[in-house]
């Protein structure tokens, strides 16, 4: 039961059904007996938290899952969550570090021969820059100060970068024959 529920949570996550992903992950955590099943459920839960804008919860879960997965050699699980982990870093107020993490994750995942997960990376980068360009809410002053270099070099070009990353994600979807998805950060 736990195995099926975490797989459903991941399916929900990649189908833009983030509330359902958190519900299925929670149920998987309550029923899963195997440590790997629980780790996979937490991965889906953390990814959903990131895309729901629950930055600190996402970071806490994904940081633990990533360290555990990386240490155990679960490369497939690292690929699954690496981009969401970068998004959680950005959402928690470390914009430049999160964007850099996503870029490194894309390169790392491509070096492992995976063409699908980098698409998600470009889509999330596009969504991050789209939020920067269009959000009526401005970050608190301490976040602006902490990210001053990033703000000065990226905010003026956020619309252009959003477009470029979203177009790259769509282009890559076409190349590999996968329908594009939208990440709502």
3-state class percentages of the chain: helix first, strand second, coil last, to nearest 5: 80, 0, 20
Q: What is the pTM of this model?
A: 0.86
Question: What is the per-residue pLDDT for 184?
Answer: 44
- The predicted-structure confidence for 152-184, as pLDDT tens digits, reads as follows 999 899 999 999 999 999 999 999 887 655 544
Residues 175 and 162: their CA atoms lie apart, in Å, by 20
Rounded Cα gap, residues 159 and 44, in angstroms: 30
Q: Residue 140 has what DSSP assignment?
A: P
* Domain ranges, ordered by start, for the chain: 1-92, 95-178
For the segment 45-56, what is each residue's pLDDT rounded down to a tens digit? Answer: 999 999 898 999
Q: What is the pLDDT of residue 180?
A: 55
| pLDDT for position 147 | 87
Tell me how far apart the alpha carbons of residues 150 and 96 are, in angstroms, rounded to a whole number.
6
CA distance 11 to 15: 6
What is the CATH topology of the domain spanning 1-92? 1.25.40
Instruction: Tell me the C-alpha to C-alpha distance, in Å, between residue 108 and each of 128, 151, 172, 173.
Output: 20, 26, 17, 19
Note whether 10 and 49 are within 8 A (CB): no
* CB-CB contact of 65 with 81 (8 Å): yes
Structure tokens given for 99: 């964007």
Beta carbons of 98 and 88 less than 8 angstroms apart: yes
Percentage of residues in the chain having pLDDT higher than 90: 70
- What tens digit of pLDDT does each residue of 25-48 get? 999 999 999 999 999 999 999 999
């Amino acid at each position: 039961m736990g195995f099926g529920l975490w797989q459903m949570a991941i399916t929900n996550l990649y189908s833009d059904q983030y509330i359902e992903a958190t519900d299925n992950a929670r149920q998987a955590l309550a029923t899963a007996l195997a440590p790997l099943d629980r780790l996979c459920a937490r991965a889906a839960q953390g990814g959903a938290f990131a895309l729901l804008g629950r930055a600190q919860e996402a970071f806490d879960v994904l940081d633990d899952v990533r360290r555990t997965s990386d240490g155990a050699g679960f490369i497939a699980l690292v690929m699954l969550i690496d981009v969401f982990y970068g998004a959680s870093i950005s959402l928690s107020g470390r914009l430049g570090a999160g964007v850099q993490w996503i870029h490194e994750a894309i390169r790392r995942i491509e070096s492992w021969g995976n063409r699908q997960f980098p698409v998600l990376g470009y889509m999330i980068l596009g969504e991050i820059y789209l939020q920067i360009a269009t959000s009526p809410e401005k970050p608190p002053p301490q976040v602006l100060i902490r990210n001053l270099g990033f703000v000065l070099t990226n905010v003026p070009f956020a619309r252009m970068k959003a477009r470029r990353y979203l177009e790259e994600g769509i282009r890559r979807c076409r190349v590999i024959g996968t329908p594009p998805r939208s990440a709502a950060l």
